[in-house]
Each structure stands twice: as C-alpha cells, then as structure tokens.
Chains A and B, each alone.
Chain A
Amino acid sequence: MTTIDFYAILPLIILVAWASALLLLDLFFTRKIEGLTPILAALGLLITLVISALNPVAGSTAFNGMIEADGFSSYLQILFAGSGIVGIALAYGYLKRMGINRGEYYPLLLYSISGMILMAQAADLIVVFLALELLSIPLYILAGIARPNPASEEAALKYFLLGAFAGGFVVYGVALSFGATGTTSLSGIVAAVDSGLANMPLLLIGAGLILIGLGFKVALVPFHMWTPDVYHGAPTPLTAFMAVGAKAAGFAALLRIFLAALPVLAGNFVPVFWILSALTMFAGNLIAIVQDNIKRMLAYSSIAHAGYIMMAVVAFGQEFVSKDAVASSLFYLLAYAVTNFGAWSVVIALERAEGKGLQLEDYYGLGKKYPVLAAAMLVFMLSFIGVPPTIGFMGKFYLFRTVLEGGYTWLAVIGVLTSILSAYYYLRVVVNMYMREGDPEIAPDRLVQLVSIVGALAVVLLSVFATPLFRWASRAVLNIF
C-alpha cells in the first residue's frame, strides 16, 4: 500500500475504524452516558466529511486502478457523510421515544455509510460488489431493528431476500463481464473493447445483469417491489436515510460503470434506460396517488424520483451531454437529499408509537396548530413537485436540460407530465395541513424540528443562491472522463 493508496481510502479507513471502535465502546457505556454513542458517531462522520472534502490526493487512482479519488467520489462522499449526520439527528430522539434505542444502530449506520463511500470511489467491478454488500448488509439489520415489531421484521426479511437476489444479479453480471473482457477494472473494460478483443454479446448480458442489480438498489420500476414495504416497515429515520443514501450509492455505481466503462453499449442501453426511466416516473407517481399512509406515499415518491434521475442517465453515451448527465444527476441527488430529509423529519415529528400518526389524515389542521412545521412541510412538498423557488425546481431544471440536450424530447415531456401527477398527491398533504380542521400532536423533539426548519430554509435559499452548488456538481465530473 503506497501513500497515495492510503490517502485515497482515508475516509473509508477512518469510518470503518471508528464504527468498529464505537461498536466496542458502546458495550461499556452505562445507561447514563449511552447518549454518547450517537454523538460520537456523528463526530466520526464529520471527520470523514472533512477529509472527503479536502480530498488530499484529488484526481489520482489507487490500488492499481481499483479506487478513484476524484471530484465525483468526493462530492458523493460528502453527500453520504452529511446524510449520515442528518440521519443520526433524526434517529436520536426517535429511537428513545419508540423504545428501540439499541446502541448498535449507530455503528451499523456507519458501516453502511462506509460501503457507500467505497461505492463512490469504486473503479473496479469487484470493488463495486464489495461496496454494495458492505452498504446493504447493515441496512438489512437496521431495517429490522424495531423487532419484535412485525412490520419491521417483515421489512428486514424482504429487504434481505430481495437485496441478496439483486446482489446475485450483480455478481453474475460482473462474472460475465469478466468473461467477456478478461478484466474487472473499468478502464480495463474500455481497453478491451477498444482493442476489439472483448466478447460484446457477453459483455452486453453482463452489463444488463449489473443494471438489474443496481436497479433494485435505486428502486427502478419494475425492480421496485420491495421499496414500499421496506420503507414502511423500517424505523422512519432509517427510511429517510435509505431513501437518500442507498439510492445515491446505486446511482454512483450506475453512473460510473456506464459512463466510464460502457459508453460503447449506448446503442443497446439507451432505449432500455429510456423505458425504465419513463416507467419509473409514471408508475411511481401514479401509485403514490392512492396511498393513505405517508411513509408509503413517500416511498413511491422516492421511486418516482429515481426515475427522474434516470432520465439524465439516458444520455450517457453522448460525449457532449454526458458531463451534464453526471452533473445534473449529482445535483439532483443533493436537491433530493435536502428535500427528502426535510419531509421525513416532519413525518418523524408527527409519528407516535405503534405506527400511529402516519396516515394522511393525521396531518389535518397542522397548518393552524404548528404553523412553522407546516410551512416547512409545504416547502418540501413544493420542492418535490418542482415549483420555484425551491432546490427541487433547480434540480429538475438541470435534469430536463440534460434530457433535451440529449435529444430525448418525449422523455422530457413524460417527465414533466408525470410531475403533474406527483403534484396531485404532494398537494394532498398540503390540503390536509391547511384546508382541513384537526388537532395533530407532534413530538417534542428539538433536533427533528431543527432539521425541518434548517431543511426548509436550505431548500429555498440554496435555490436562490445555487451557483456554488452547480459549480461544485460540474467540477465533480471533470475527472471521471
């Protein structure tokens, strides 16, 4: 291991070490100081975040090309670590309140994030698989952490079975790609294709299987079946985190693999991506309309948003557009993360024990009784719809630009029309909050309310002063090619 190798995976090393130490330490924390675990976990993530942002060996590859430390990975690592911190803030009071305050929650979360951080850097199919498992397995456990709650157990089992299945697809795809090109490294695949030695049909099948596996992770229709049940059954703060982290990690792999290694297959995959994207946007938004449970509604909404991001990926094979494809996906992931955490924080504030407070009717009268919280939720819903001035609008603006640049006008039309479908169910929440009478209760959880308020401010302010974020997202693609 050279110095560059070391620095390249420094965030990963720190986080894994931190998580392991925390797992041990937690055993010795008495009741009195058990609140230390989440604080220490957040501290570890903060350190990881800072190091990822500094990115000391920016632009270099490590471990013989298996790991990339570029702008792309740095961007995503910051996103993952940041999401982790917010995820902890949301979980802190919630786990206590629901009586599931188990110390291993936080170390497991850190392990999962370390998998995501590795995923952002993966430049080799083997590493992709490794990262995928590292990020997934802790999530399986976390989904079931509310045991003996049957919904939570069901979520864990379902997530595990389908996730393992998806992992199988990825592994099989990696194997076939290796058979086709004689290598698992992304740059090696490009070289093999260029030299004409690659077995193209085999590579095509391999790539298809990888796509299916990752499609499970990011919840593309028709690989989305697990999402509503798992999002519904898992503890809400974890759902909030999964909706951002797991999705972003899946897209990180998808973007890196298809843009860096497989643009040659664009002819085959563009129609597939096109259909997947259209189907996901349409089905996700359509099914969300009939949901009465806010967790399920947001689950379908998260499916739909995967479809929006997928729109940008459709243009992956076009040299001039692919930069925008990456940058707009990255920006949208950030916009989605901020909005998503905000929306879930309101859900958490209203949730009560035994899954109460999660129906859409439970939002009746929120605008009158808790105007600040309701206003925050309003901002998040508008951001999800894509109404200016919110960051969700800026994200969609850039996404649709990419799609039109790629020449996929009809896909863009489907995209905007499905966003009207989405307006219908997001507005339902607003209608319930402001236009109906009711007497909702919220949990006295300062941390959660802080996330709501800061989130709402961020959604609006980051859209008005969005230039630095757009620059950051654009810089993040420079080294990928």
Chain B
Amino acid sequence: MTFFTNPLNLVTLFPLVGVLVILLFKQEQKKEIRWTALIVSLITFGLSIWVLTLFDPNNPDLQLVINLSWIEIADWEISYQMGVDGLSILLVLLTTFLTPISLLSTWTAVEDRVKDFMIFFLLLEVGMLGVFLAQDLFLFYVFWEFTLVPMYFLIGIWGGPKRMYAAVKFFLYTMTGSVLMLLAILWLGIYQGTFSVPDLTAMGGIPAQVQLWLFLAFAAAFAIKVPMWPLHSWLPDAHVQAPTAGSVILAGVLLKMGTYGFLRFNIPLFPKAALQAAPWMALLAVIGILYGAAVSYYQKDVKMLVAYSSVSHLGFVMLGLFALNPQGIQGGILQMVNHGISTGALFLLVGMIYERRHTRVMDDFGGLWKVMPVYGALTLVVTLSSMGLPGLNGFAGEFPILLGAFGSEAIGSPWYAGLAALGVILAAVYLLYMFQKLFLGPLDKEENKGLKDLTVRELVTITPLVILIFWIGLYPKPFFTLMAPAVEKLLTIIETASLAMY
C-alpha cells in the first residue's frame, strides 16, 4: 500500500482529509470550519517538514519516489509517479508554509460562505502540491488544470467588484496555454512512448527542430502562468479582485508553478531548444522587469502596484533560469521562494489595511506610521526585502541571478543583466514611493487617525514571513545546499546538448 504510506503522497493528499471533515460541518459553524482548515494545513506543513528530514540534499536525483501504474489508454501506460528533488523541495515547503498563513489571514476577512471557501482553499493546496511533486506528465497536467478550478472560485465568489470578469479571464487565459501544452504532452506520449518525466529526460533524442515546437507549446502554458510580458494582462485583474488569501497564494505559489514548469520540463526535456531560446527568454524577462517596474510606479492602488511588481520580480526569476548556469538557476529558484515570501507578505499587509479602511488607494493614506508603528515597521522590512536590500532575502536571490545572467553563455550578452540591474533601482523607486505615500508625511485624513495597530492574530500571520526574510537574507546557505546537486544535474543535460549542437 505505498499509495497511503508514501510521504509525498501523504503531504499532497492530506488536505483532502480536511475537505472531508469540513463537508460534515454546517455552513454556520464558521469557527469549527476555520480551525479545522487551519489545523489540517498545519499538519500538512508538519508532514512537509517530515519530508524535508527524509530528503537527502546530496542526492541530485528524485527521492521518496512513488511509482504506480495507473491508467491504460490503448498501448499507453500512464503512471502515478511522484518524487521530490532539489528543484522542487523548496517550493513544496513554500506551499505548505503559505497555506496556513493565508488561512489565518481570512479569519475576519471572510465571513460569507466560509465552508466553501475553506474547501476550495484546501483543494487548491492539493493541486499545487501535486504540480510540484508529479513526475508523470499526465498526472502533472491533471494537477495543473485542477488548480484552476478552486482559484477560479476564490476569485469569483470572494473577490472584489469585478470578480466575475477577473475569474473568467484568469480561467480562460491560463487554460489557453495549458491546452497547447496538452498537445505537446500527447506528442511526447506518441513518439517517445512514455509520460514519465525521468524516463523522458534520460531518453532525450528529440530532434532539435521538434524540440523548439514542443518548447514553445510548454512555454505557452508556463509563460502565461508566470506571467511573462506580454502575456501578463490577466494578472492585475486576478490579483486586485482576489481576496487577500487568494492573492497571497496566487502570487506566492501559483505563479511559481509557471517558473517551476520551465525549470522542470522545458529546460531538461528540450535542452537544445532551451539553449536556442535563452536569449529570447532573457529579452522577454528583461522587458518584463522594466515594464512591470514602470507600470507599478504609476499605480494609485497599492494592490495593483504589488501585482505589477510581481511581473517585474518574476522577470528576474526567468532571467536567472535561462542564464542556464549554476548561479542563475540557483538564484532563480531562491528568488521564487523569496518572491513568495515578500510579495505574499505585501499582499497580507495590504489586506490588513484594506480590512480597516476598505480602500487601497494610496492617496487616502499618509502618515500611518504615527498610528500604526508596528504595522509600519513590518511593512518597511517587507518593502526593503522586496527591493533587494542586502541582508534581506531579496538580495540573496537577485544577486546570483544578475551574476549568472551577466556571465551566461546561453544568453550571450551582459547587457540583459545590466538592464535588469536597472530594474532593481526602479523597484526601489516605486516601493519607496509607495511606502512614503502610506506611512510618511502628515496624518491629515480624519479616517486614518483612529486606526488600530496590528492584532495578535495579524502579528502571528506576518511574523513567520519576516523571520524567513531575515533568515534567507543573512544565511541563505542551507537553501542553496538543498538545491545545488539537482541544479548541477540539470546543467549536465544542458552541457551535453550544447556539445551536440556546436
């Protein structure tokens, strides 16, 4: 019965236990439902820590693998295959870590249909964990598409005034990319005879011309999810309309599914195409960095600003990944985690002030530091971390990315890194501008004078994130240690392909 004893499978499916329990409650038992969801998500986090203790960081291969035969379609044998390695372990932990935090943030924010909310949220966690752990393309696709449904509801039911539009746009946009990927997955099944990712990676042998098409089809799905410029237009709508917890998970984890997809599938499965595409991906990434930063600066709504800053920050991740060298990729992976923490925290903070004032327009604030010093201090730390201040987590990720991109053979020009560095400065501009608008200046608005500082629950929500911001910023080594062997292994694939090409 490996299905029920495999640690990875346990982590992935455990939230379903919560779903089943919550189904037994009545809609009115809000307190019980909230606690059940929170406890289940905390246990899931505990299970993922258990996975971490079982994980051997020196081993570059997939670990804790579960591989069962699942569905037969004609001559295809589809496997239920999961595994974890250095590329995914951090993202799994990020998911299980952010879920209880998000749930805690909904304690007073979500009053309507709490039962449905928690069910969708836990289902979403199952989908996200499945995406990061699945090692069979079919299984991966099932989880990948499945995440759409709960997120669609989180935006569509508990979102802002334009929530239906945003929800449908989110669904359709993401699905457009996914179905093209589905065709590429089918192609691999037909001509390579398997959906198992490790087998496909080991097999190789896809002609360079075909690789490019498959690369593009997979990239369609992932680039929309990331989102890369110019496919980002669903993101501001979804983020702004989504409830706080939805935004946190959307920015923190769902977008990472896109970058993770590039890392797990595009690069190792189609290494030749990845090498060919690297300069183009870098170009799009840099445009995204600068464009996202520029647009952020002009936002009046804080949440909109944070949403566009995601476009910019994820440009860094993409730039790092397609540097295709150790610094770039390791920085990219760490930056995925960093963005999850920093932007997640920013969305939480925005949510906290929104709950108090029911507005997010920056002009409505000013001088908040005087009434909410704790809130202000925490926001400052998070803002600085998002800017990439040395000593905080953003720097630990962005620096290796720029280093990697600068010396990258695959990208072929240091200019991309140079322009991206400009993005770091722009980030400082719009983030400090935001901070100044909210917290500095005179406390001249009547409504703001009576604002209460953070409650204990809110502090509990945000503190773990701030601790991590410092931890990763001051001592990122354990994080790099976890991923280094797997990244090395990935790069040998790239090197082999590069030797074959030139």
Interface residues of A (CB under 8 A from B): 323-324, 327, 367-368, 371, 382, 385, 387-389, 393-394, 397-398, 400-401, 404-405, 409, 412-413, 416-417, 419-420, 423-424, 427, 431, 434-436, 466-467, 470-471, 474
Contacts and interface: CB of A to CB of B under 8 A. Distances in A.
Given A388-B142, A404-B183, A424-B172, A431 B164 contact: yes
Nearest to B76: A401
Given A435-B163, A467-B72, A368 B186 contact: no
Given A412-B186, A427-B152, A435-B164, 14 more contacts: A368-B113, A382-B149, A388-B142, A400-B182, A401-B73, A401-B190, A405-B190, A416-B183, A420-B176, A434-B156, A435-B156, A435-B167, A467-B72, A474-B74
Contacts of A470: 71-74
A466 B141 CA distance: 16
A470 B138 CA distance: 16
Classify chain B: how many residues form its interface, as a range. 35 or more
Contacts of A389: 142, 146
A400 B145 contact: no
B141 A388 contact: yes
A398 B73 contact: yes
Contacts of A466: 71, 73
A398 B189 CA distance: 11
A153 B113 CA distance: 45
Contacts of B163: 435
Contacts of B113: 368
A387 B149 contact: yes
B172 A404 contact: no
Among all A-B residue pairs, the 6 with the closest Cβ atoms: A416-B179, A388-B142, A435-B156, A467-B72, A470-B73, A388-B145
Contacts of B70: 467
Contacts of B146: 387-389
Interface in B137-186: 138, 141-142, 145-146, 148-149, 152-153, 156-157, 163-164, 167-168, 171-172, 175-176, 179-180, 182-183, 186
Interface in B75-124: 76, 113, 116
Contact of A431 (B141, B145, B148, B168): B168
Contact of B179 (A323, A420, A467, A474): A420
Nearest to A385: B175
20 contacts: A324-B74, A327-B74, A385-B175, A387-B146, A387-B148, A388-B142, A389-B142, A389-B146, A393-B142, A401-B186, A401-B189, A404-B186, A405-B190, A413-B183, A416-B179, A416-B183, A420-B179, A424-B168, A427-B168, A434-B157
Nearest to B185: A397
A413 B180 CA distance: 7
Contacts of A409: 183
A465 B493 CA distance: 36
A327 B73 CA distance: 10
B280 interface: no
B471 interface: no
B35 interface: no
Contact of B175 (A327, A400, A420): A420
Nearest to A470: B73
Contacts of B186: 397, 400-401, 404, 412
Nearest to B159: A435
A216 to B, nearest CB: 30
Contacts of A400: 182-183, 186
B187 interface: yes
A412 B172 CA distance: 18
Nearest to B113: A368
Nearest to B77: A467
Contacts of A436: 164
A327 B172 CA distance: 30
A368 B190 CA distance: 44
Contacts of B187: 404
Nearest to A412: B183
A413 B220 CA distance: 13
B179 to A, nearest CB: 4
Contacts of B116: 367, 371
B190 A423 contact: no
A416 B180 contact: yes
A177 to B, nearest CB: 32
A85 B186 CA distance: 36
A415 to B, nearest CB: 9
Contacts of A417: 176, 179
A467 B72 CA distance: 5
Q: Which of A388, A420, A427 has the most CB atoms of chain B within a 10 A radius of its CB?
A: A388
A394 B148 CA distance: 17
Contacts of A423: 171-172, 175
Q: Which of B113, B145, B163, B176 has the most CB atoms of chain A within a 10 A radius of its CB?
A: B145
Contacts of B183: 400, 404, 409, 412-413, 416
Contacts of A434: 153, 156-157
Q: Which of A368, A382, A427 has the most CB atoms of chain B within a 10 A radius of its CB?
A: A427
Given A404-B190, A420-B176, A431-B168, A467 B149 contact: no
